């Protein structure tokens, strides 16, 4: 198998825009609404281990820790610049969260080490091959019976979302999402009980929430 590339697409496409990420998310993506729903669906019990894959500025990571203070939460991102923002937010929030730098394509964790992996708006940053590779990595690090919870662009739910998706469909990395292929790709990585649990209309198209379980 080829070695994964260390190249990545920053949160808003360009490094210069990263400091504006939180503001843009709040204004365009109904951020708190979908992140609260994602957290509710994760149903984390005491002393469980959770990985926020592609944690970005750690908004979701901090919300998870505040909702489930007894769980161990780790955030991982490939971009050192966004992790600097995440670190200062975690410190300001006064919560105990470990932040790691690393790639979704080669997760720096042993097999069967997490009860939940959550990933918000990361999958559309990856090529088709890298999405498949990432799903296999998530499967590897989850414990048997563990769950992946993902929020990302999905199949358009109405005409307006379809028109927006046509525009974003021009970008290769988003096309698997808007063709509705993510559930199939989760199953191909070994997951079962794959479900699309919610859909939200946003300024950048339909955002879908997905849940998938590692057998065991």
Ligand X SMILES: C[S@@+](CC[C@H](N)C(=O)[O-])C[C@H]1O[C@@H](n2cnc3c(N)ncnc32)[C@H](O)[C@@H]1O
What does the binding site for ligand X look like in residue numbers (CB under 6 A)?
A: 8-11, 25, 54-56, 59-60, 77-79, 82, 103-105, 120-122, 125
Q: Which is nearer to ligand X, 8 or 162 (CB)?
A: 8
User: DSSP assignment of 149-191, as one string?
Assistant: EEEEE-S--SHHHHHHHHHHTTSHHHHHHHTT-HHHHHHHTT-
Q: Which is nearer to ligand X, 77 or 147 (CB)?
A: 77
Q: How far is the CB of 98 from ligand X (least distance, A)?
A: 15
Q: Which is nearer to ligand X, 6 or 47 (CB)?
A: 6
Q: How far is the CB of 159 from ligand X (least distance, A)?
A: 26
Q: How far is the CB of 6 from ligand X (least distance, A)?
A: 8
Q: Which residue is nearest to ligand X (CB)?
A: 56
Q: How far is CA 9 from CA 6, 17, 98, 131, 209, in A?
A: 10, 12, 23, 13, 22
Q: How far is the CB of 216 from ligand X (least distance, A)?
A: 25
CA-to-CA distance for 202 and 153, rounded, in angstroms? 10
E strands, 54-170, in order: 72-77, 98-101, 114-120, 142-153
Q: Which is nearer to ligand X, 44 or 104 (CB)?
A: 104
């Amino acid at each position: 198998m080829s070695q994964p590339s260390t190249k990545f697409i920053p949160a808003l496409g360009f490094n210069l825009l990263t400091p504006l990420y939180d503001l843009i998310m709040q204004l365009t993506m109904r951020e708190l609404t979908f992140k609260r729903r994602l957290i509710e669906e994760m149903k984390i019990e005491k002393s469980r281990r959770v990985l926020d894959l592609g944690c970005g500025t750690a908004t979701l990571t901090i919300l998870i820790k505040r909702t489930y203070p007894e769980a161990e939460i780790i955030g991982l991102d490939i971009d050192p610049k966004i992790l600097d923002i995440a670190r200062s937010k975690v410190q300001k929030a006064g919560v105990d969260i470990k932040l790691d730098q690393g790639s979704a394509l080669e997760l720096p964790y042993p097999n069967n080490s997490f009860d939940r992996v959550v990933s918000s708006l990361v999958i559309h940053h990856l090529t088709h091959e890298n999405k498949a590779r990432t799903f296999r990595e998530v499967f590897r690090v989850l414990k048997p019976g563990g769950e992946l919870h993902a929020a990302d662009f999905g199949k358009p739910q109405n005409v307006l979302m379809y028109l927006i998706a046509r525009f974003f469909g021009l970008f290769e990395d988003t096309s698997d999402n808007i063709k509705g292929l993510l559930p199939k790709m989760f199953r191909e990585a070994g997951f079962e009980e794959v479900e699309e649990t919610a859909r939200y209309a946003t300024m950048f198209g339909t955002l879908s929430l997905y849940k998938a379980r590692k057998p065991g």
